[in-house]
Amino acid sequence: MPRENRKRGKKHKKKADEEVHNEEYAAPEERSLALEQEAGPSWIVSAPNTPAVDHEAPFGYADSELKAYFRTVDVQIREWQEGQDEPNEDDEDVDPNENRRLFFVAALEEMSHKEKQLATDPDCSGILERMSYSMDDFVRRVFLDRLSGSLEILAKHRFASHVCQTIFTIASDTIYRESRGIYPPASESTDEGELRTLTQLVLDSCQEFIPSLSALVMDQFASHVIRAVLMLLAPHLSSEDSSQQAGKQKLMVRSKKSAAWKARQGPMKSVFVDTEAEKPARISSKEFQEAAAKFVMALREQLDENEVRALAANKVASPVLQMLLEIETAQDMADTPNSLMDRVLVGLITFSHSNAKIMPEASDYLATLLRDPTSSHLLETLVSHSPPKVFDILWLIYFKGKLSKLAVHPVANFVVARAFGRLSAEQLNEVCSELEGVYGKIIKASRTGVLRALVDRAAALHAHEARICDVICTAFDLDTPEDRKLLVHCILRLLPIQEYKAAIVAKGDQADKDGDEHAKRRGKAKAGDDPLEPKTQGAVLLQAMLRISTPHNEPILDSIQNMSIEELLEMAHHVTSSRVLDVVLDSPTVQPKAKRKFILKLIGHFHELVDDRIGSRVGDRCWASSDTYLKEKIARSLIPHERFLAGSFYGKFFARNLHLHLLQRNVEEWKNLQVTKSTPETSKAQPAPTKAAPDATSDAAKSSNADEQRKKKRKAHPTGEIDELFESTLGKRVKKGALGIEDQSGVAEKAKVQNPAVEKFAADKSLKDVMGAIRSAPKEDKGHQKKRKK
């Protein structure tokens, strides 16, 4: 405001009051004329005064007292889920879950008819997610029914979208039970009408999402809800064929930020039922398949070709497009012109159906997908699920002749590895020839996924396996037979032979300078900087090579056999390299002779092997892979180290399976015990109960249940001193079933017990009977007692 217009003192309102007084007493004609001048012409109609919608709380704000109550509910349910407040099992008269049910029912009553307000609240939305895991089938139906009609608004909301996503994720359990005809009891009150099943509620929710699907796919919150719905409709999307695919599917449902937030919330599970013990199989009904097809058709109608291609580069919409492409392929809708896959592939499917003989030119759009971090995932889906004719066209235009650059590219190498999984034997041979001279660059750039894909494809086709092994040796500069003895060392560290030898020399020089103890501490402190540290990529490549058929996997086995026992133990004690030894023992392509040779190499050092957290697991696998004769050799080699195993934190668990006391006392009985453990329980013939005595079977079942309860109680209490005394003198008591074992001829031989007193003690199971036998034993006369005192 200019200085000359500023005035001091009080403002005079006399003129304003006079103007209001004149307007009130003005003529009606003058007032109407003034209103017309302010409102404008008569043909302009003003919009009604509607209150603005609050996007943060579209259904209103939750009461502060209600939010405080649900905070206490969250704390209590979190304690139950984490197992901090376990019910008291000593009181058998009271149901331990009764208090939880009453508490949960009270929380549901407070939540009734306020679901939308609580779902959009930043504090209570997470509490609803936690509570939804403990809801039964009826409550889930009521909850989703209350949200119906507003799912589009809730899906776009920042907090309510997570609630919708959770309810669609856990709905598979209820839908599985409904498919088998298992329904909760119907409510007697008819005031609110008939409650729809959860299957029908999901189908109605799909109809609610489809009209605005193109907008929901692009929304940063609603996109995750659509993914959860598609995973529910098409269970094949969540099939965990491999660990890589499983991790990819997890990222499809939740973003990294959302998954990290949920991981910090602790375990999400039911407080009433152990849902992790039995996970029902997901079903794919005809209604769900039709609903999934409607999503594909809706996106075709709502978006044109350019808009569909634009979804590929969008971080939010690209995962949804990948899922829709997989659904389209599963329902045989992709191999048609103008499909979603045809639009993304720039008309290659239409070209495959035509009779044109001239190959189309390479599209800049697909070439961009190869090198884009977001779009490359979509191209992986296209390469994996495209029809065979279309894949051949893709291979000829975009991959063949360009592998030398694509295989070492930081993004394109993943697409190349996925494309290798669909090669024919002839194409595989061409790839090996094209990549000559590039293998060294692949190793230096750590693009081992390309080599692993080649090995896996050769193993699947059983073709060119010998050439693939030569390719791996060439990549690490292993030319001579002496160099190939270090094949496992080089691949495990991802170092060529010369670099590996240089790292060994450098480590030895550093150890001489600093001293052995200081070098050990320095190596532990900087394990990540150590070039000799085993790499995960190298271990995975070795596992793939061990799955090649014999004799092409023998270079790996020979390299392991040429290791010194110190190197082998170091490899078995490492969390990464020990996985290679697991495949040696478990792979069906490794001959039993090679497995036996590997186990015999460790005999005499098993006590050192199992004295470690990782090595004890390798020792268990060696024991499980051995026959009875080899087990006896392992057990006899460990008899001198029995005290060492008993004092080892990890070795004592391994020693429990050996039964060394029984081996020293009775070899035949020990062998029969090992045969019993090796034979599966399902193969044993069980006599069918006779029809003449149905009561006897029921009594036997009751007695068996009683025996199981007694065994559980005995396991809960520590063994007494008298039990330990008899175990040390007479050996561990063996069940009667272990004494009668069928030999190779099929005849059951009972274990021979020479001393009848020992047989009586072995048959007795209770401590009371043992004590009675001790008291009833004849006492020595006084003369013998005096001699003993002297």
Mind spelling out the 3-state secondary structure of 38-59? HHCCCCCCCCCCCCCCCCCCCC
pLDDT at 513: 66
CA distances from 464 to 224, 417, 707 (A): 44, 17, 59
Predicted local distance difference test score (pLDDT) of residue 295: 96
Q: Which amino acid is at 785?
A: Q
Nearest to 619 by CA among 632, 602, 633: 602
Full-model pTM = 0.74
Residue 668 DSSP one-character state: H
Are 610 and 650 in contact by the 8 Å Cβ rule? The answer is yes
User: Maximum Cα–Cα distance for the chain, whole Å?
Assistant: 143
Q: Judge whether 234 and 330 are in contact, CB under 8 Å.
A: yes
Residue 150, domain member (yes or no): yes
- Beta partners for residue 740, in sequence order: 750
**List of residues 6+ apart from 345 with CB closer than 8 A:** 366, 382, 386, 390, 394
Q: In this structure, what are the phi and psi dihedrals at residue 254, rounded to the nearest 5 degrees?
A: -125, 145
**Can you give 303-360 as a three-state secondary structure string?**
CCHHHHHHHHHCCCCHHHHHHHHHHHHHCCCCCCCCCHHHHHCCCHHHHHHCCCCCCC
168's tokens:
């669609």
Alpha helices for 526-612 (secondary structure H): 536-546, 554-561, 565-573, 578-586, 592-602, 606-609
Q: Which residues pair with 749 in a beta bridge?
A: 741
Take residue 152 and report the two structure tokens written for it: 């589009």
**pLDDT given at position 284:** 75
What pLDDT score was predicted for residue 723?
Answer: 54
pLDDT score, position 188: 58
- Relative orientation angle of helices 721-730 and 767-775, to the nearest 10 degrees: 70
Q: Where are the beta strands (DSSP E) in 619-703?
A: none
Q: Is residue 543, in this structure, part of any structural domain at all?
A: no
Q: Is residue 658 part of a domain?
A: no
Q: Are 119 and 128 in contact (CB under 8 A)?
A: yes
In single-letter form, the type of residue at position 171 comes to A
Dihedral of CA 398/399/405/411: which sign? Answer: positive
pLDDT value at residue 236: 85
Q: How many domains is the chain built from?
A: 2
Q: What is the CATH number of the domain that holds 230?
A: 1.25.10.10
Q: b vs e for 225-239, b when ≥16 Cβ sit within 10 Å of the residue's Cβ?
A: bbbbbbbbbbeebbe
pLDDT of residue 99: 83
- What burial class does residue 504 get, using C-beta atoms within 10 Å of its C-beta: 0-12 exposed, 13-18 middle, 19+ buried? middle
Q: Answer whether residue 748 is part of any domain.
A: yes
**Cα–chain center distance at 98:** 33
Closest of 277, 387, 268, 377 to residue 330, by C-alpha: 387
Query: By the 8 A CB rule, do 722 and 771 touch?
Result: yes
Q: Which of the residues in the chain have pLDDT under 50?
A: 1-2, 4-9, 13-28, 31-33, 35, 47, 50, 240-251, 519-527, 681-704, 711-713, 715-721, 725, 729-730, 732-768, 770-771, 773-774, 776-790
Report the alpha-carbon distance of residue 302 to residue 553 in Å, rounded: 53
Q: What is the pLDDT of residue 475?
A: 92
Helices (H) then strands (E): counts for the chain: 50, 2
588/625 Cα distance (integer angstroms): 12
What does R_g of the chain's alpha carbons equal in angstroms? 37
User: HEC string of 253-316?
Assistant: HCCHHHHHHHHHCCCCCCCCCCCCCCCCCCCCCHHHHHHHHHHHHHHHHHCCHHHHHHHHHCCC
* Structural domain boundaries enclosing 730: 667-679+721-790
Which pLDDT does position 729 carry in this prediction?
Answer: 47
- Per 3-state DSSP, the chain is made up of helix, strand and coil in percentages (nearest 5) of 65, 0, 35
- Collect all residues with Cβ–Cβ distance below 8 Å to 660 and sequence separation of at least 6: 635, 638, 639, 642
* Gap between the Cα atoms of 652 and 784, Å rounded: 41
Kindly state the tokens that stand for 64. 């502060």
The answer to whether 608 and 641 have CB atoms below 8 angstroms apart is no
